[in-house]
Amino acid sequence: MTETDGNPFELAKQAAEVIAKRSGIKTHDIALTLGSGWGKAAELLGETVSEIPADEVPGFFSSGIPGHSGLIRSISLSQGKHALVVGARTHFYEDKGVRAVAHSVRTAAATGATIMVLTNGAGGIKEQWKPGTPVLISDHINLTASSPLEGATFIDLTDLYSARLREIARSVDSGLDEGVYVQFRGPHYETPAEVQMAKTMGGHIVGMSTALEAIAAREAGMEILGLSLITNLAAGISPNPLSHKEVIEAGQSAEPVISKLLAEIVAKL
């Protein structure tokens, strides 16, 4: 599969068919992409009905990144709904093309999901966000110079990160702060000057994944909830340099708390 072959929506439909067949679940209601630090949440959401290695589903790749699992799970929720949990995100920096980046949300939509929960590990620009703090994404700035949309597809991104869903999240934890997510291409972290630029532009969170996925999810007609786990202060905000190992460790120690938070939010969706 290359960037120019076929139709991305057709590929997503094929992926959804494989998921339906192998899981025995005809339609899912809610989909979640679990980023760094959020992986354990899947177990608390409900009962896992099926687990499929991502690379056995059309258009997905196994991740190969430490801290990112590569499973597509179907989970039955207590309210009688089904959640699709995608543990295999393709990042823009992997250079597999923006279609590969959008594939998980397009597949989620093709399985019937109307709500897309996008989670990530990210850097924080607000000093009061200690590593391990979960925050809601209120809006984004896309600095990838790319879009998952092809051709003259004009999509409104007002209220991209649903105010209704953020309200539900705050009904679970009234202390949840929110901020504007700035997506850089990565995979390098930012320079301190780039973090200052993001801050000046109105950004509060820096990451490498969610903005492009959210655009594709909106195109697919889904309502979006975005959650970042601040695993590190962005470069230059903290005096210490960033390391991927520390990012993973911060995620691991926050995991029980944010997993419970996410499960409680999903139960109300």
Nearer to ligand 8IG, 87 or 123 (CB): 123
Diameter of the chain by CA atoms?
51
Least separation in angstroms between CB 138 and ligand 8IG? 18
CA distance 231 to 249: 8
Q: Which residue ranges make up the site for ligand 8IG (CB under 6 A)?
A: 36, 121-123, 184, 186, 189-190, 206-208, 231-232, 234, 242, 247
Least separation in angstroms between CB 159 and ligand 8IG? 24
140: which strand partners? 181
Nearer to ligand 8IG, 46 or 207 (CB): 207
Which residue has the closest beta carbon to ligand 8IG?
A: 123
User: Two tokens at 127?
Assistant: 């000093």
> SS3 for 158?
coil
Nearer to ligand 8IG, 23 or 184 (CB): 184
Is-contact 30 124, C-beta < 8 A?
Answer: no
Torsion, Cα 87 174 126 86, to 10 degrees, reads 10
Token look-up 């691991």 returns: 252
List, by residue number, the catalytic residues.
190
Least separation in angstroms between CB 167 and ligand 8IG? 26
Q: What backbone torsions phi and psi does residue 106 show, to the nearest 5 degrees?
A: -65, -35
51: which strand partners? 73
Indicate the residue type of 114: T
Nearer to ligand 8IG, 1 or 242 (CB): 242
Least separation in angstroms between CB 198 and ligand 8IG? 9
Nearer to ligand 8IG, 170 or 185 (CB): 185
List the one residue out of 119, 121, 129 whose CA is nearest residue 248: 121
135: which strand partners? 177, 228
Least separation in angstroms between CB 183 and ligand 8IG? 8
